Amino acid sequence: MRTPIMAGNWKMNCDNDEAWQLASAIVERAGDVEGCEVVLCPAATALTTVQAAIEDTVIRLGAQNIFWEEKGAYTGELSGPMLVSCGCQYVIIGHSERRGRFGSVADDFTPELQQVFGDTDSSVNRKVKAALSYDLTPIVCCGELLSERQAGKTDEVVAGQLRAALAGFAADQVARLVLAYEPVWAIGTGEVCEADEANRVLGLIRGIVTECADESVAQRMRILYGGSVKPDNVPGLMDQPEIDGGLVGGASLQADSFCELIEVAAEVNSG
Ligand code: PGA
């Protein structure tokens, strides 16, 4: 049995006061939860605030991005040692928004401007390598655009992103990852992927992990679904055999809704 994970990706939300309040409210209801790992991924500016709020609880801290070099002239970037010094144990890598691939985006956010988020398959691979070298657990994301799904390319896109992310790692390194399938068209749009379709793609991902590592690593790998996970759809998602939890944006910004997700995941796990 794989222990599920609920990871809250707060994205560019919550100043320090708000982060303290949100993390404290989650601690109050889920600070000693059993049967589900809980990870909070606030903006970098709130990492130490959230770490203080979750101290002495089972809740863990994650960052939303990492740069692969240890230090140097990389304005605006954050290194593994910096994240570790804030208390991070996890880091989200290759989120579609960091690849410049958005589920919903403002009209004036042109393709050229979307390049400010410049992650590519090879930068994702380097970031995973860096995270592992600092003992951070990468939550590696993959997922297709609506246009790619409509063109019948979902499996090809997901497999391509994953193979690139995992390239060059030994089985014992792959074993330290968490993966997340996030169809881009379902992120922040309210449009959730049908649970059985999400389960199908996660099965495909597990097959790729078998190829890149081995069967036992694949069977132990936690693979999350992300994209408009909410209290009303989480029971159906968590019922699927391949889905080991959620990477949650919008619904992680309210303590009540996020704690409901945690409780459903923990209950499914215990049943
Ligand atoms: P959402 O975001 O839950 O708001 O759709 C998920 C994510 O981007 O990780």
Q: Quick one: CA torsion of 56, 222, 92, 266, rounded to 10 degrees?
A: -40
- Tell me what pLDDT residue 189 has: 87
Identify the segments of the chain with pLDDT beneath 70.
none
How far apart CA 191 and CA 3 sit, in angstroms, is: 26
Go through 202-239 and write b for each residue having 16 or more CB atoms within 10 A of its CB, e for each that does not: beebbebbeebbeeebbeebbbbbbbbbbbebbeebbe
CA atoms within 13 A on the CB side of 252: 27
What's the CA-to-centroid distance between 104 and ligand 1, angstroms? 11
Quick check: CB of 161 below 6 Å from ligand 1? no
Go through 73-97 and write b for each residue having 16 or more CB atoms within 10 A of its CB, e for each that does not: eeeeebbbebbbebbbebbbbbbbb
* Tens-digit pLDDT profile for residues 105-123: 888 988 888 888 889 999 9
Write down the pTM of the prediction. Answer: 0.97
Ligand 1 atom at minimum distance from 189 CA: 5
Nearest CA to ligand 1 atom 1: 249
- Tell me what pLDDT residue 25 has: 98
